[in-house]
């Protein structure tokens, strides 16, 4: 009879890496410090989960959108000042004046806006034989929800998809920024999942949910008559949180970024105390 014995390292790992204390989306993962990794891992996890439940009629492609950010969109990045010094033991003949600059003429160090290349991943479910894009899946980033080049680039892509029969799924797990536009009033919730079927537009399904709720499951729209797999973003995030060991990186004694509304802040504080995180 075989026995399984955990070594000390594995035992410590099991003890230290705790699950996310939140029932649904963890608001601490919205912090710019973590979101880029969360976004990348979620896109990959979605692709793998979909592919394993998809017939050979389809393939899942991970695509990317690239653009330069402008000053308003740029996240502050600490860049150290660079000082270049040159020591010459013997004088060099110069025709330029060697007079010392006055205080008023001395240069000061300033920071200038430097465009940054932004790459955003998204998924396309394609018909394998033709390459036809059946469904596009977008996981929104902060730059998609702030006025600027990122917002404009995404809006153009969104309009392109909506002008075709391709189905569109938008997964918005960010409380910050402005929600993507819809016609008329829509529920004001923390997070949203939009499903716009190509054959039902301009109507679309909108799932709104808060940090107190689990992320709703939804079926992946495909061509008519084909079995549509269920997408469970909640389970995927649970796995991502564990594999990335975010529990070892998040300081739950601090407030999340962006901050919660007062009512949700009180609820989160009680939850984190119950879970032993505060």
Residue 98, domain member (yes or no):
no
What is d(CA 166, CA 212) in angstroms, rounded to the nearest whole number?
32
| pLDDT, tens only, 29-52 | 999 999 999 999 999 999 999 999
Of 113-127, 137-151, 153-167, 185-199, the poorest mean pLDDT is in 113-127
| Structure confidence at residue 102 (pLDDT) | 61
Residue 262, domain member (yes or no):
yes
Placement of tokens 């984190």 in the chain: 272
Please state the rounded mean pLDDT for residues 65-73. 60
DSSP label at residue 213: S
What is d(CA 107, CA 84) in angstroms, rounded to the nearest whole number?
15
Token pair listed for 9:
């390292």
Residue 82, domain member (yes or no):
no
Which residues sit opposite 137 in a β-bridge?
Answer: 123, 169
Residue 99, domain member (yes or no):
no
Q: What is the domain extent for residue 49?
A: 19-74+112-274
Please state the rounded mean pLDDT for residues 91-97. 48
Residue 183, domain member (yes or no):
yes
Q: How many structural domains does the chain have?
A: 1
Of 138-152, 164-178, 229-243, 260-274, the poorest mean pLDDT is in 138-152
Q: What is the mean pLDDT of the chain?
A: 84
Residue 33, domain member (yes or no):
yes
Q: In the chain, count H helices and then E strands.
A: 5, 8
How far is the CA of 77 from the CAs of 62, 73, 258, in angstroms?
Answer: 28, 12, 18
Rg (CA), the chain: 25
Helix-helix angle 233-243:32-51, to 10 degrees: 120
Residue 35, domain member (yes or no):
yes
Residue 238, domain member (yes or no):
yes
């Amino acid at each position: 009879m075989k026995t399984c014995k955990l070594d000390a390292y594995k035992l410590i790992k099991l003890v230290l890496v705790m699950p996310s204390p939140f029932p649904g989306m963890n608001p601490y993962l919205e912090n710019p410090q973590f979101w880029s990794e969360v976004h990348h891992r979620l896109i990959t996890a979605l692709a793998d989960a979909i592919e394993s439940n998809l017939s050979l009629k389809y393939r899942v492609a991970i695509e990317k959108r690239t653009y330069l950010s402008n000053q308003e969109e740029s996240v502050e990045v600490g860049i150290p000042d660079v000082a270049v010094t040159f020591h010459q033991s013997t004088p060099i003949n110069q025709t330029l004046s060697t007079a010392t600059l006055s205080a008023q003429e001395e240069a000061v160090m300033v920071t200038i806006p430097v465009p940054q290349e932004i790459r955003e991943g998204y998924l396309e479910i394609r018909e394998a034989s033709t390459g036809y894009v059946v469904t596009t899946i977008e996981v929104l980033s902060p730059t998609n929800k702030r006025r600027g080049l990122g917002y404009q680039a995404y809006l153009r892509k969104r309009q392109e998809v909506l002008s075709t029969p391709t189905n569109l799924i938008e997964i918005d797990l960010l409380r910050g920024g402005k929600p993507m536009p819809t016609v008329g009033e829509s529920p004001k919730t923390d997070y949203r999942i939009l499903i716009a079927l190509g054959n039902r537009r301009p109507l679309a399904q909108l799932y709104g949910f808060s940090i107190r709720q689990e992320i709703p499951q939804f079926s992946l729209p495909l061509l008519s008559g084909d079995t549509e797999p269920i997408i469970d973003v909640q389970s995927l995030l649970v796995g991502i949180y564990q594999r990335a060991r975010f529990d070892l990186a998040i300081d739950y004694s601090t407030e999340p970024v962006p901050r919660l509304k007062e009512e949700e802040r009180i609820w989160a504080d009680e939850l984190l105390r119950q879970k032993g995180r505060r």
